[in-house]
Amino acid sequence: MPLSALFAGVPTLSPLPTLEAAHITSDTRQVSAGSIFFCIRGFTHDGHDFAAKALELGAAAVVCERGLDLGERQILVPDTHEAYALCCANLFGNPQRRLRLVGVTGTNGKTTITHLIRDVLQGLGHKTGLIGTIETDLGGVTFPAKYTTPDPLTFYSILAQMADAGCEYAVMEVSSHGLDQKRVAGCRFAVGVFTNLTQDHLDYHGTMEAYFQAKKSLFSLCDAGVVNLDDPYGRRIVQEAPCPIRSFSTSQDSADYTAKSIELRADGSSFAFVGSGMIARVKFPVPGEFSVSNAMAAIGACLALGCDLQKTTALLAGSHGVPGRFEVLRTGTPYTVIRDYAHTPDAIEKVLSALRAVTRGRIMILFGCAGNRDRKKRVHMTDLAARLADFVVLTSDNPRSEDPMQIIEDAKPGLLQHSTPYAIIPDRYEAIGWALSHCRQGDTLLLAGKGHEDYQVLKHGTIHFDEREVVAELLARGISEKTEDEQGGTDETFGNCRGGRQQRQL
């Protein structure tokens, strides 16, 4: 492709060389003869430091934000993140212009809401693609996702495949990282949805305000927005967004759409969706007030797209939920086992509150804190778990390059603020077996943090780890509920901390 076509509409600060681009990339490992290399400033590395190497590997030119004394072989731009995304869009013929885009952002709820919107649109006869945390759906062909919002080259390739497959819509989760790094530059969203904002990703953004500004930037790319009025940051977006906004709430009549007569049950929830001149009764097969909020967001987005309210709510009633999102595992036991992706303080609080309303016995939560992620949220997670559950099993969750026991030590102070009994078992497989063996009739065991994931990321590599399979295997081996006498009393007993387990008994 001629550079003049590749850079069409892309701001530049230097003349474009007259040459053909054989390939574009921001990764020196992908550089080949005739490539255009984009110098991207990353979280740990700066692509400008690898510009000379890219030229040695055969790159025809490098795109940079500052002069590198490379003569005509450098193309200077104000922002390489934006330039890369816009060039990727041009490379694939701007497929975003052949689709109606729906973007969902926020800390929690993105995956559920995007799936619900996709399911409604498909149910109404519109071929729809999806890009998200769990999977990428090209309008009928699905494959596992690696990142919530892919890099621009992958992202625009996916949109091109959707458009070529005849999709009318593309519904996507838009992460704060993706927005901050301008991976979706060049897109115009028919609708943007904001769920909420709670502590997460501060290792990257630094402050909640920076995190918020990244999320809010989605609405500068939208024709319309649907925003959660129950969230304080959502209320800010209502005031600050540059596009028209419709708000939703589970409690506030000042919202454009309000949930009334909410009923929460173990098998789901129901409510009246009320707006100006409209009302519909909604039955949704996932329990919890957070599920009502997710359903409200999906309905609001579909209305913004011109969908009929009654048809939309009828299709939601037939939804089967999302794998790993408040998913009840089939165990055949007198207690309930649920797996959920809750991996932030807010998500843990919401899912435990939902379980409290429908659990007859005790609630046991098993979770860990991810390695190489925001360390500040660890103690908040254990604090909420110990406050809202009847028993806590603290274990590992993708420790990555960190020492699993150090992660646990970072999180442990939150447990010690409460008298809630707990067990610390670093090995997640062993921890699940221990938790299953201590469940009784009427209890609920929540496996939190991994949700749909079928792997565990360890220091020396990634292993297969699917909690549905783990639970089934352990139960097949004869793990069963124990009696109160078998479980002992409530005195504090501790084992060897390093590599062993610590326990305040059940």
Rounded to the nearest 5 degrees, what angle is found at the Cα of 407, between the Cα atoms of 403 and 410? 140
Long-range contacts of 96-100 (CB under 8 A, 24+ apart): 96/156, 96/159, 96/170, 96/186, 96/187, 96/188, 98/163, 99/129, 99/159, 99/162, 99/163, 99/167, 99/168, 99/169, 99/170, 100/168, 100/169, 100/170, 100/190, 100/305
pLDDT band at 319 (very low <50, low <70, confident <90, very high): confident
pLDDT in tens, 192-205: 999 999 877 777 77
Q: What's the average model confidence in pLDDT over 374-393? A: 96
Rounded to the nearest 5 degrees, what angle is found at the Cα of 364, between the Cα atoms of 363 and 368? 140
The reported pLDDT for the residue numbered 323 is: 84
The reported pLDDT for the residue numbered 450 is: 96
- Give 46-61 as a DSSP string: BGGGGHHHHHHTT-SE
Q: Which of 370, 371, 372 lies closest to 344 in space, CA to CA?
A: 370
Q: Which of 79, 105, 103 lies closest to 176 in space, CA to CA?
A: 105
Q: What's the average model confidence in pLDDT over 184-192? A: 97
What does the radius of gyration of the chain's CA atoms come to, in whole angstroms?
24
Q: Is 118 exposed, middle or buried (0-12, 13-18, 19+ CB in 10 A)?
A: buried
More confident residue, 107 or 223: 223
pLDDT band at 137 (very low <50, low <70, confident <90, very high): very high
How high is the mean pLDDT of the chain? Answer: 91
Distance, CA of 329 to CA of 345 (rounded, Å): 23
Site of tokens 């993706």: 178
Residue 395, pLDDT > 50, answer yes
Domain regions of the chain by residue span: 3-83, 95-317, 327-504
Residue 210, pLDDT > 90, answer yes
The pair of three-digit structure tokens given for residue 234, joined into one six-digit string: 């959502």
pLDDT band at 69 (very low <50, low <70, confident <90, very high): confident
pLDDT band at 488 (very low <50, low <70, confident <90, very high): very low
The reported pLDDT for the residue numbered 486 is: 38
Least confident of 16-25, 48-57, 313-322: 313-322
Q: Are 199 and 130 in contact (CB under 8 A)?
A: no
Total number of residues shown for the chain: 506
Q: Are 14 and 76 in contact (CB under 8 A)?
A: yes
The reported pLDDT for the residue numbered 494 is: 28
pLDDT band at 165 (very low <50, low <70, confident <90, very high): very high
Q: Which residues are annotated as a binding site?
A: 28, 106-112, 148-149, 175, 181, 183, 373, 397-400, 449, 453
Residue 249, pLDDT > 90, answer yes
Distance, CA of 162 to CA of 167 (rounded, Å): 5
Superfamily of domain 3-83: MurE/MurF, N-terminal domain (3.40.1390.10)
Residue 496, pLDDT > 60, answer no
Q: Which residues are annotated as a binding site for meso-2,6-diaminopimelate?
A: 373, 397-400, 449, 453
Residue type, 125: G
Measured over the CA atoms of residue 401, residue 402, residue 405 and residue 411, the dihedral's sign is negative
The pair of three-digit structure tokens given for residue 245, joined into one six-digit string: 């906004």
The reported pLDDT for the residue numbered 243 is: 98
Site of tokens 């352990």: 474
Residue 410, pLDDT > 80, answer yes
Residue 497, pLDDT > 80, answer no
Q: What's the average model confidence in pLDDT over 384-392? A: 98
Q: Are 307 and 288 in contact (CB under 8 A)?
A: no
Q: What's the average model confidence in pLDDT over 243-255? A: 97
Q: Which of 457, 347, 438 lies closest to 398 in space, CA to CA?
A: 457
Superfamily of domain 95-317: Mur-like, catalytic domain (3.40.1190.10)
The reported pLDDT for the residue numbered 483 is: 36
pLDDT band at 480 (very low <50, low <70, confident <90, very high): low
- Give 122-146 as a DSSP string: HHTT--EEEESSSEEESSS-EEE-S
Rounded (to 5) percent helix, strand, coil in the chain: 35, 25, 40
Q: pTM to 2 decimals?
A: 0.81
Tell me which DSSP letter residue 2 carries: B
Q: Are 161 and 152 in contact (CB under 8 A)?
A: no
> 347 vs 97, 107, 110, 361, 409, CA distance in Å?
35, 9, 12, 22, 21
pLDDT band at 499 (very low <50, low <70, confident <90, very high): very low
pLDDT in tens, 335-383: 999 999 999 998 899 899 989 988 999 999 999 999 998 898 999 999 9
The pair of three-digit structure tokens given for residue 405, joined into one six-digit string: 């026991």
The reported pLDDT for the residue numbered 504 is: 57
Q: Topology of domain 327-504, per CATH?
A: Protein-Tyrosine Phosphatase; Chain A (3.90.190)
The reported pLDDT for the residue numbered 503 is: 67
pLDDT in tens, 431-447: 999 999 999 999 999 99
Residue 500, pLDDT > 50, answer no
The reported pLDDT for the residue numbered 342 is: 92
Q: Which residues are annotated as a binding site for ATP?
A: 106-112
pLDDT band at 72 (very low <50, low <70, confident <90, very high): confident
